[in-house]
Structure 1
Amino acid sequence: MPFQQSIRLNEAQRGIFIALGANRPYRRHTPFENLQHALQLLSEREVSVLSCSRPWRTPAWPDPSQPPFLNAVAQIAWEGEDPTALMQILHEVETACGRVRSVRNAPRTLDLDLIDFKTRVRAPKTGNDLALPHPRVNDRAFVLLPLREIAPHWRCPVSGDFIDTLISRLSWTDRKDCRPAGGVLHAATHRLKRGAT
């Protein structure tokens, strides 16, 4: 799978990583197709998708009776230096894929989270402010397991802990409930078109 590439240590430490999730169809698109479409829309907005994990299936939380989520993590390249501006792009892509913000943890057609922006640490000044890294990244198997696929040397910018250490702290239930779902996500990025490895 040429699109899923392991990231070297230095790249993992200066990269930008986003998490993707979906558990509702949009129009005639399945959640898998929503994730695929999101990668394409990012590419059209001058956000290059450098590598992407496989999709992983996770029970919905906190209500497991809702449809399960498909989750993935991608490393991206973007010329800007303002993570808030990047979040605006992510929100535009969510909207284009049918995301309607309602109650917290509701089913959604697409959820895009900024996990790590070049190892920056940023505390939110208000409740709606962007925090970096994502404040719950260390507790989420559905982020850490796909992230390890493409960035096995990633370290938490706050604690300095390697990703394997963070995964080992997750509960056994969280780890076993997060499983590869099958399929491969692709994006038509400039880097991939040139055949870069």
Structure 2
Amino acid sequence: MITRDKLLDILKNIAKIIQENRQFLTDLDAAIGDGDHGINMNKGFRAVEEKIDTVKDKDCGAILKTIAMTLISTVGGASGPLYGTAFLKAAMVVNGKMELENDDVVKMFDEAIKGIVMRGKAEKGEKTMLDALIPAFEEIKSSLQDGNTMSEAFNRAQKAAADGVEYTKTIKATKGRASYLGDRSIGHQDPGATSTYLMIKTIAETLNS
């Protein structure tokens, strides 16, 4: 189970890790994209950080919806609509809830992925955030179904997301600005998959603390 306060901690820690990795994410994006992924993500999550105190008394759905709208309105490029849609879809399945049970978390990730697929017209294997997110979700789902704790499920998800990031180095991009490079995008890791991995890693670390 994830309490509302733990959810707020997770969001604060995600804002922190994005800030710490903004240059790394920007450098990754400079190699195959617009070179602004880290800058845009940091801008969005700094705005999220400022919003957290205003929603600390709300339910989990309301908190996630506020995060979604903040990202959509502040993050430039494709990342804002994609991450914003993911948070918005997740928010809708936990509307009114003060804590998140295992089933809630599975439904949240399932809906978030569907939202990204719909918004980005992408699928796994196209060198996008989905290459980290989908394997992470599959681990969360199967791990929780096997009776493992939420912490253990996210520890496994972190490993799956990291493997997904590594996988993006081996394939060519077929979506976004990176797709213009064709085969020259092979050998580079996807910045969106990397920021997704950082988020999963942060959830795991916050649940373990």
For this structure pair, what is the TM-score category when the shorter chain's length is used for normalisation?
Answer: 0.3 to 0.5
Question: Whose helix proportion is higher, 1 or 2?
Answer: 2
Larger relative contact order (Cα-Cα within 8 Å, sequence gap ≥ 6): 1
When you count strand as a share of all residues, which structure comes out higher?
Answer: 1
TM-score, normalization by structure 1: 0.33
